[in-house]
Amino acid sequence: ADLERKTPYNTYVIFGLPPGPICNPGRAALEAVLKPADSPDLYFVSRNDGTHYFSTTLKEHNRAVFKYQKQDRPGGAPDNGFR
Question: Under 8 Å CB-to-CB from 75, ≥6 apart: which residues?
Answer: none
Give the range of the structural domain holding residue 22, as residue numbers without chain letter.
2-76
**In a domain? residue 60:** yes
Is residue 62 over pLDDT 50?
Answer: yes
**In a domain? residue 83:** no
**In a domain? residue 81:** no
pTM for the whole structure: 0.53
Q: Residue 45: how many CB atoms within 10 A of its CB?
A: 19
- Summarize pLDDT for 28-37 with one digit per residue, the tens: 999 999 999 9
Percent of the chain having pLDDT more than 90?
65
The CA distance from 78 to 13, in Å, is 22
Is residue 8 over pLDDT 60?
Answer: yes
Q: Spell out where the chain has E strands.
A: 43-46, 52-55
Answer for the pair 8, 18: CB distance below 8 angstroms, yes or no: yes
Query: How many structural domains are present in the chain?
Result: 1
Q: How confident is the model at residue 83 (pLDDT cuts 50, 70, 90)?
A: very low
**In a domain? residue 58:** yes
Question: Under 8 Å CB-to-CB from 32, ≥6 apart: which residues?
Answer: none
**In a domain? residue 24:** yes
**In a domain? residue 17:** yes
